[in-house]
Amino acid sequence: MLRLAIQKSGRLSEDSLNLIRECGINFLSASYKLKTEATNFPLEILYLRDDDIPGYVQDGVADLGIVGQNVLVEAGFPELEVEGLGFSKCRLSLAVPRAAAYDSIQDLQGVSIATSYPKILGDYLAGQGVRANLHTISGSVEIAPSIGLAEAICDIVSSGSTLLGNGLREVETVFRSEAVLIANQTLSAEKQEQLEQLQFRMQAVRRARR
Ligand code: ATP
Ligand code: ZN
Protein backbone atom coordinates (compact mmCIF):
# COMPACT_ATOMS: atom_id res chain seq x y z
CA MET A 1 0.00 0.00 0.00
CA LEU A 2 1.25 3.48 -0.93
CA ARG A 3 1.70 6.04 1.83
CA LEU A 4 1.04 9.62 0.71
CA ALA A 5 1.96 12.54 2.97
CA ILE A 6 -0.04 15.75 2.64
CA GLN A 7 -0.14 18.97 4.66
CA LYS A 8 -2.31 18.63 7.75
CA SER A 9 -3.62 22.16 7.76
CA GLY A 10 -2.55 25.05 5.60
CA ARG A 11 -2.65 26.43 2.10
CA LEU A 12 -1.98 23.07 0.42
CA SER A 13 -4.45 20.98 2.40
CA GLU A 14 -7.77 21.58 0.72
CA ASP A 15 -6.49 21.36 -2.86
CA SER A 16 -4.50 18.22 -2.01
CA LEU A 17 -7.58 16.50 -0.56
CA ASN A 18 -9.74 17.64 -3.47
CA LEU A 19 -7.26 16.26 -6.00
CA ILE A 20 -7.21 12.84 -4.29
CA ARG A 21 -11.02 12.77 -4.10
CA GLU A 22 -11.38 13.80 -7.74
CA CYS A 23 -9.15 10.85 -8.62
CA GLY A 24 -12.08 8.72 -7.42
CA ILE A 25 -10.30 7.69 -4.23
CA ASN A 26 -12.61 7.47 -1.23
CA PHE A 27 -11.51 7.90 2.37
CA LEU A 28 -12.86 9.29 5.60
CA SER A 29 -11.01 12.28 6.99
CA ALA A 30 -11.44 13.54 10.50
CA SER A 31 -9.51 16.61 11.59
CA TYR A 32 -8.12 14.92 14.72
CA LYS A 33 -6.70 11.96 12.79
CA LEU A 34 -3.07 11.78 11.63
CA LYS A 35 -3.70 9.12 8.99
CA THR A 36 -6.50 7.53 7.01
CA GLU A 37 -6.79 4.59 4.66
CA ALA A 38 -8.58 4.81 1.35
CA THR A 39 -11.40 2.32 0.89
CA ASN A 40 -11.07 1.73 -2.86
CA PHE A 41 -7.36 2.27 -3.68
CA PRO A 42 -4.20 0.91 -2.00
CA LEU A 43 -3.44 4.25 -0.38
CA GLU A 44 -2.81 5.51 3.14
CA ILE A 45 -2.81 9.28 3.72
CA LEU A 46 -0.58 10.84 6.39
CA TYR A 47 -1.26 14.39 7.59
CA LEU A 48 1.95 16.27 8.40
CA ARG A 49 3.50 19.73 8.56
CA ASP A 50 4.59 20.64 5.05
CA ASP A 51 8.22 21.20 6.10
CA ASP A 52 8.50 17.57 7.24
CA ILE A 53 7.17 16.05 4.01
CA PRO A 54 10.34 16.10 1.81
CA GLY A 55 12.45 14.43 4.52
CA TYR A 56 9.89 11.72 5.19
CA VAL A 57 9.64 10.90 1.48
CA GLN A 58 13.44 10.95 1.09
CA ASP A 59 13.74 8.52 4.05
CA GLY A 60 10.91 6.29 2.80
CA VAL A 61 8.70 6.87 5.87
CA ALA A 62 6.20 8.01 3.22
CA ASP A 63 6.31 6.81 -0.39
CA LEU A 64 4.73 9.94 -1.85
CA GLY A 65 4.03 13.51 -0.83
CA ILE A 66 2.37 16.69 -1.99
CA VAL A 67 4.36 19.81 -1.10
CA GLY A 68 5.30 23.24 -2.45
CA GLN A 69 8.37 23.25 -4.73
CA ASN A 70 9.73 26.04 -2.53
CA VAL A 71 9.80 23.71 0.49
CA LEU A 72 11.11 20.78 -1.58
CA VAL A 73 14.03 22.73 -3.04
CA GLU A 74 14.84 24.41 0.28
CA ALA A 75 14.95 20.95 1.90
CA GLY A 76 17.58 20.00 -0.67
CA PHE A 77 15.71 17.14 -2.42
CA PRO A 78 14.60 18.58 -5.81
CA GLU A 79 15.19 15.17 -7.42
CA LEU A 80 12.12 13.75 -5.63
CA GLU A 81 9.75 15.76 -7.85
CA VAL A 82 7.52 13.63 -10.07
CA GLU A 83 5.17 16.24 -11.52
CA GLY A 84 3.70 19.69 -11.02
CA LEU A 85 0.09 19.79 -9.80
CA GLY A 86 -0.89 23.31 -10.88
CA PHE A 87 -2.16 24.66 -7.55
CA SER A 88 -0.70 26.77 -4.70
CA LYS A 89 1.19 28.88 -7.19
CA CYS A 90 3.30 31.54 -5.57
CA ARG A 91 6.70 33.16 -5.91
CA LEU A 92 9.64 33.83 -3.64
CA SER A 93 10.67 37.45 -4.01
CA LEU A 94 13.16 39.96 -2.69
CA ALA A 95 11.66 43.15 -1.27
CA VAL A 96 13.13 46.35 0.14
CA PRO A 97 11.59 49.28 2.07
CA ARG A 98 9.50 51.42 -0.27
CA ALA A 99 11.77 54.44 0.14
CA ALA A 100 15.06 52.53 -0.34
CA ALA A 101 16.99 53.18 -3.54
CA TYR A 102 17.14 50.09 -5.73
CA ASP A 103 18.38 49.85 -9.31
CA SER A 104 19.67 46.31 -9.62
CA ILE A 105 20.53 43.19 -7.66
CA GLN A 106 24.04 44.62 -7.18
CA ASP A 107 22.49 47.02 -4.67
CA LEU A 108 22.16 44.03 -2.34
CA GLN A 109 25.97 43.60 -2.00
CA GLY A 110 26.70 43.39 1.74
CA VAL A 111 23.07 44.01 2.70
CA SER A 112 21.38 42.03 5.50
CA ILE A 113 18.40 40.01 4.24
CA ALA A 114 15.84 38.15 6.39
CA THR A 115 14.35 34.97 4.93
CA SER A 116 12.99 31.51 5.70
CA TYR A 117 14.65 30.24 2.50
CA PRO A 118 18.43 30.63 3.01
CA LYS A 119 19.32 27.85 0.57
CA ILE A 120 17.20 29.02 -2.38
CA LEU A 121 18.14 32.66 -1.77
CA GLY A 122 21.82 31.87 -1.19
CA ASP A 123 22.02 29.91 -4.47
CA TYR A 124 20.24 32.70 -6.35
CA LEU A 125 22.50 35.43 -4.99
CA ALA A 126 25.62 33.37 -5.63
CA GLY A 127 24.49 32.95 -9.24
CA GLN A 128 24.26 36.75 -9.50
CA GLY A 129 27.63 37.27 -7.85
CA VAL A 130 26.07 38.96 -4.82
CA ARG A 131 27.36 38.45 -1.28
CA ALA A 132 24.76 39.39 1.34
CA ASN A 133 24.25 38.59 5.03
CA LEU A 134 21.33 36.19 5.31
CA HIS A 135 19.35 36.05 8.56
CA THR A 136 17.26 32.92 8.74
CA ILE A 137 13.96 33.39 10.57
CA SER A 138 10.99 31.03 10.47
CA GLY A 139 8.09 33.47 10.29
CA SER A 140 6.91 37.11 10.15
CA VAL A 141 9.74 37.86 7.76
CA GLU A 142 8.01 40.99 6.40
CA ILE A 143 8.39 42.90 9.66
CA ALA A 144 12.18 42.40 9.82
CA PRO A 145 13.09 45.73 8.12
CA SER A 146 10.72 47.81 10.27
CA ILE A 147 12.19 46.40 13.50
CA GLY A 148 15.76 46.86 12.32
CA LEU A 149 16.57 43.17 11.96
CA ALA A 150 17.41 43.34 8.26
CA GLU A 151 17.56 45.79 5.37
CA ALA A 152 15.71 43.57 2.90
CA ILE A 153 13.65 40.39 2.91
CA CYS A 154 13.02 37.37 0.72
CA ASP A 155 9.64 35.73 1.23
CA ILE A 156 6.61 34.07 -0.44
CA VAL A 157 4.42 36.52 -2.31
CA SER A 158 1.11 35.80 -3.94
CA SER A 159 -0.76 39.10 -4.17
CA GLY A 160 1.76 41.56 -2.76
CA SER A 161 -0.67 43.09 -0.25
CA THR A 162 1.31 41.84 2.77
CA LEU A 163 4.43 43.52 1.39
CA LEU A 164 2.56 46.76 0.80
CA GLY A 165 1.08 46.65 4.29
CA ASN A 166 4.60 46.45 5.71
CA GLY A 167 5.96 49.32 3.63
CA LEU A 168 7.94 47.07 1.30
CA ARG A 169 8.25 46.80 -2.46
CA GLU A 170 9.05 43.74 -4.48
CA VAL A 171 12.26 44.10 -6.50
CA GLU A 172 13.26 40.63 -7.77
CA THR A 173 11.58 37.27 -8.30
CA VAL A 174 13.89 34.60 -6.91
CA PHE A 175 11.85 31.43 -7.46
CA ARG A 176 8.44 30.41 -8.87
CA SER A 177 6.61 27.61 -7.10
CA GLU A 178 3.56 25.36 -7.32
CA ALA A 179 2.46 22.22 -5.49
CA VAL A 180 4.26 19.10 -6.73
CA LEU A 181 3.86 15.36 -6.34
CA ILE A 182 7.04 13.83 -4.94
CA ALA A 183 8.08 10.19 -4.60
CA ASN A 184 10.73 8.15 -2.85
CA GLN A 185 13.36 7.06 -5.34
CA THR A 186 13.53 3.39 -4.36
CA LEU A 187 9.88 2.30 -4.59
CA SER A 188 9.20 -1.41 -5.05
CA ALA A 189 7.96 -2.51 -8.48
CA GLU A 190 4.47 -2.91 -7.04
CA LYS A 191 4.43 0.57 -5.53
CA GLN A 192 5.87 2.03 -8.72
CA GLU A 193 2.93 0.56 -10.60
CA GLN A 194 0.45 1.99 -8.08
CA LEU A 195 2.15 5.38 -8.44
CA GLU A 196 1.70 5.21 -12.21
CA GLN A 197 -2.01 4.47 -11.75
CA LEU A 198 -2.31 7.42 -9.41
CA GLN A 199 -0.47 9.73 -11.82
CA PHE A 200 -2.68 8.56 -14.68
CA ARG A 201 -5.76 9.57 -12.67
CA MET A 202 -4.24 12.89 -11.58
CA GLN A 203 -3.45 13.79 -15.16
CA ALA A 204 -7.02 12.91 -16.20
CA VAL A 205 -8.39 15.16 -13.43
CA ARG A 206 -6.21 18.04 -14.58
CA ARG A 207 -7.22 17.58 -18.23
CA ALA A 208 -10.90 17.55 -17.23
CA ARG A 209 -10.47 20.79 -15.26
CA ARG A 210 -9.04 22.71 -18.22
P1 ATP B 1 2.77 24.17 8.20
O2 ATP B 1 2.03 24.46 9.45
O3 ATP B 1 2.29 22.88 7.56
O4 ATP B 1 4.26 24.23 8.38
P5 ATP B 1 3.09 26.67 6.72
O6 ATP B 1 2.56 27.80 7.52
O7 ATP B 1 4.56 26.47 6.62
O8 ATP B 1 2.35 25.32 7.16
P9 ATP B 1 1.39 27.50 4.47
O10 ATP B 1 1.30 28.95 4.73
O11 ATP B 1 0.16 26.68 4.71
O12 ATP B 1 2.64 26.81 5.20
O13 ATP B 1 1.87 27.32 2.96
C14 ATP B 1 2.12 26.05 2.41
C15 ATP B 1 2.65 26.23 1.01
O16 ATP B 1 1.65 26.85 0.19
C17 ATP B 1 3.86 27.15 0.87
O18 ATP B 1 5.07 26.47 1.14
C19 ATP B 1 3.77 27.57 -0.58
O20 ATP B 1 4.24 26.53 -1.46
C21 ATP B 1 2.28 27.70 -0.76
N22 ATP B 1 1.85 29.10 -0.51
C23 ATP B 1 2.22 29.90 0.50
N24 ATP B 1 1.64 31.10 0.43
C25 ATP B 1 0.86 31.05 -0.66
C26 ATP B 1 -0.02 31.96 -1.23
N27 ATP B 1 -0.20 33.18 -0.72
N28 ATP B 1 -0.70 31.59 -2.32
C29 ATP B 1 -0.53 30.36 -2.83
N30 ATP B 1 0.30 29.44 -2.32
C31 ATP B 1 0.98 29.77 -1.24
ZN1 ZN C 1 5.55 24.88 6.95
Q: Residue 32: what pLDDT? A: 74
Ion ligand 2 contact residues with beta carbon within 5 A: 50-51
Q: In the chain, how many domains are there?
A: 2
Claim to verify: residue 77 and residue 108 sit in the same structural domain: no
CATH of the domain at 73: 3.40.190.10
| 59/161 same-domain check | no
pLDDT per residue as tens digits for the range 78-100: 999 999 999 999 999 999 999 99
> What are the pLDDT digits (tens) for 1-15?
999 999 999 999 999
Low-confidence spans in the chain with pLDDT less than 70:
none
Task: Note the ipTM here.
Answer: 0.97
3-state secondary structure the chain: CEEEEEECCCCCHHHHHHHHHHCCCCCCCCCCCCEEECCCCCEEEEEECHHHHHHHHHHCCCCEEEEEHHHHHHHCCHHHEEEECCCCCEEEEEEEECCCCCCCHHHHCCCEEEECCHHHHHHHHHHCCCCCEEEECCCCHHHCCCCCCCCEEEEEECCCHHHHHCCEEEEEEEEEECEEEEECCCCCHHHHHHHHHHHHHHHHHHHHHC
Query: 139 alpha carbon to ligand 2 midpoint, in Å?
Result: 10
pTM of the model: 0.95
Domain encompassing residue 198? 2-88+178-209
Is residue 187 located within the same domain as residue 112?
Answer: no
- Both 11 and 63 in a single domain? yes
The atom of ligand 1 lying closest to the CA of 13 is 11
Co-location of 101 and 77 in the same domain? no
